[in-house]
Chain A
Amino acid sequence: DIQMTQSPSSLSASVGDRVTITCQASEGISHFVNWYQQKPGKAPKLLIYDVFNLATGVPSRFSGSGSGTHFTFTISSLQPEDFATYYCQQYDNLLALTFGGGTKVEIK
């Protein structure tokens, strides 16, 4: 299975900060990388699909980039409602979809 190594596992940031999270795939994958936000007690929410496409209704402060094995998720200006856990996910192999370990974004 393709492993997705996500870093950091947690970070502390202030409102207005730029936040970057990375995912390293264990082998090269095409554009099949998505990013999700999860708040406590809630289901995950799709933010970015296919590396850089914003899901419906997602604010433009969220963005994604990358190719090959290295993928990046960025929040350009952190808002109070953005404190949550974020996950990357690959679906290059449709028989073995995998998620990264998650990044918890906390208030500094």
Chain B
Amino acid sequence: QVQLVQSGSELKKPGASVKVSCKTSGYTFTSHAINWVRQAPGQGLEWMGRINTNTGNPTYAQGFTGRFVFSLDTSVSTAYLQISSLKTEDTAVYYCTRPFGAGAFEIWGQGTMVTVSS
């Protein structure tokens, strides 16, 4: 079956970097974009952007430019989210998700908790 499996929780210090992985299976990796969604503790859902798995072209939402980078390794059907110069306000659960069509997020990873604390 279609699955998105994310890497485990991370604890980082301010200023460090983190790379979250999203390994896909059960479908052709290049047939659907991968989107990223952030959820800060006790807060709602925030769309971060997407990466076209055919071209590798990323689209970043407002507020997620500069320190946030989406990337792919098509050889292992995996998408990545890298966040640099981490701030305490980056503490959140990060989800990868696969839409059907353009924007209905049908399949979700289990989420990766990133905690930024000194």
Complex Cα–Cα for A87 and B108 (A): 15
Residue from A55, A91, A94, A101 in contact with B106 in the complex, judged by beta carbons closer than 8 Å:
A55
CA of A32 to CA of B44, assembled, Å: 19
The stretch among B23-31, B72-80, B83-91, B97-105 that forms the contact with chain A is B97-105
* Chain A binding surface, main DSSP class: loop
CB < 8 Å neighbour of A87 from B45, B103, B110:
B45
Instruction: Tell me which residues across on chain B come within 8 A of A32, comparing CB atoms.
Output: 102-103
Which residue of B101, B102, B103 has the most chain A CB atoms within 10 A of its CB atom? B103
Number of A-B contacts (CB under 8 A): 60
Total interface residues on B, using CB and 8 Å? 22
Digit string of B36-52 for contact with A (CB within 8 Å is 1, else 0)? 01000000111100000
Residue numbers of B with Cβ under 8 A of A are: 35, 37, 44-47, 59, 61-62, 95, 97, 100-106, 108-111
| Among all A-B residue pairs, the 8 with the closest Cβ atoms | A91-B103, A43-B108, A49-B104, A97-B47, A99-B45, A102-B44, A34-B104, A101-B44
Q: Point out residues on A near B: beta carbons under 8 Å.
A: 1, 32, 34, 36, 38, 43-46, 49-50, 55, 87, 89, 91, 94-102
28 pairs, A vs B, C-beta closer than 8 Å: A32-B103, A34-B105, A36-B45, A43-B108, A43-B110, A43-B111, A44-B105, A44-B108, A46-B104, A46-B105, A49-B100, A49-B101, A50-B104, A55-B104, A87-B44, A87-B45, A89-B45, A91-B102, A94-B59, A96-B62, A97-B47, A97-B61, A99-B44, A99-B45, A99-B46, A99-B47, A100-B44, A102-B45
